């Protein structure tokens, strides 16, 4: 229902050129194409993640931190000879 309210004549929207349509909307769509993630709000992405059982929202960038070595590094385990 919400899609129909936003785009009553979807075929006409597809037939328009970039100049005729909203430049900001097309710019957001173009940027989303290069990222490879769905374009939408947090609620929309959460719903898609629930349906697909995959992580779609962007996560924290960079490598995961390495685990710190144990403080007992010099101790021998109970299994060592």
Q: pLDDT digit string (tens) for 18-68? A: 665 567 777 878 887 887 778 888 899 999 999 999 988 888 889 988 876
User: 65 exposed, middle or buried (CB, 10 Å; 0-12, 13-18, 19+)?
Assistant: exposed
Query: pTM (2 decimals)?
Result: 0.44
Please, which residues have CB within 8 angstroms of residue 56's CB and are 6 or more apart in sequence? 37, 38, 45, 48, 49
Going by the DSSP 8-state scheme, the letter that residue 60 receives in this structure is -
Quickly list H helices, 7-78: 10-15, 23-35, 42-52
* Rg, C-alpha atoms of the chain: 24
């Amino acid at each position: 229902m919400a899609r129909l309210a936003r785009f009553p004549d979807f075929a006409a929207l597809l037939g328009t050129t970039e100049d005729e349509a909203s430049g900001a909307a097309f710019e957001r769509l173009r940027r989303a194409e290069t990222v490879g993630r769905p374009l939408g709000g947090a609620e929309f992405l959460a719903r898609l993640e629930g349906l697909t059982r995959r992580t779609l929202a962007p996560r924290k960038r960079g490598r995961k931190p390495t685990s710190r070595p144990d403080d007992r590094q010099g101790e021998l385990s109970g299994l060592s000879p």
